[in-house]
Amino acid sequence: MATLLITVPAVTSHILPMLPTAEALVKRGHRVLVHIAQRHYDKVQATGAELIPMPEHCNIVSGSPTPCPSDSANVVKPGYGRATLCNQNTL
């Protein structure tokens, strides 16, 4: 079976819809990796998926003042606000 990566910002309205999808994929025999903030470990574990911790400076909703690494790019999308795209290998 396939290994699939799901990445979502740590916002309830994004997390809750993703959980049944992750669980269904796991039940079909896929390895599912969920890239999200560590604080959501229990929710991800309950689906049978594996959590890949998202560094706080890469979480677009954290509002963290922590500077991003030099290999990151800050972007502003109209209607979406500031986002940080990180090129770190966290897998």
Q: What is the CATH number of the domain that holds 73?
A: 3.40.50.2000
Per cent of the chain over pLDDT 70 is 60
Between residues 11 and 82, which one has the greater pLDDT?
11
Determine, yes or no, domain membership for 75: yes
- Asked whether residue 12 is assigned to any structural domain, the reply reads yes
Q: How many domains does the chain fold into?
A: 1
Compute the distance between CA of residue 64 and CA of residue 74 in angstroms, rounded to an integer.
13
Instruction: Give kind and range of the element (H or E) at residue 5.
Output: strand 3-7
**Is the predicted pLDDT of residue 77 greater than 80, yes or no?**
no
Q: Tell me, what's the pLDDT at 42?
A: 94
Confidence of residue 60 (pLDDT cuts 50, 70, 90): low
Mean pLDDT of 30-55: 91
Cα distance between residue 34 and residue 4, in whole Å:
8
Q: Domain span at residue 33?
A: 3-85
Q: How many CA atoms lie within 13 A of 81 on its CB side?
A: 4
How high is the mean pLDDT of the chain?
A: 74
Whether 90 is in a domain gets the answer no
51 within domain boundaries: yes
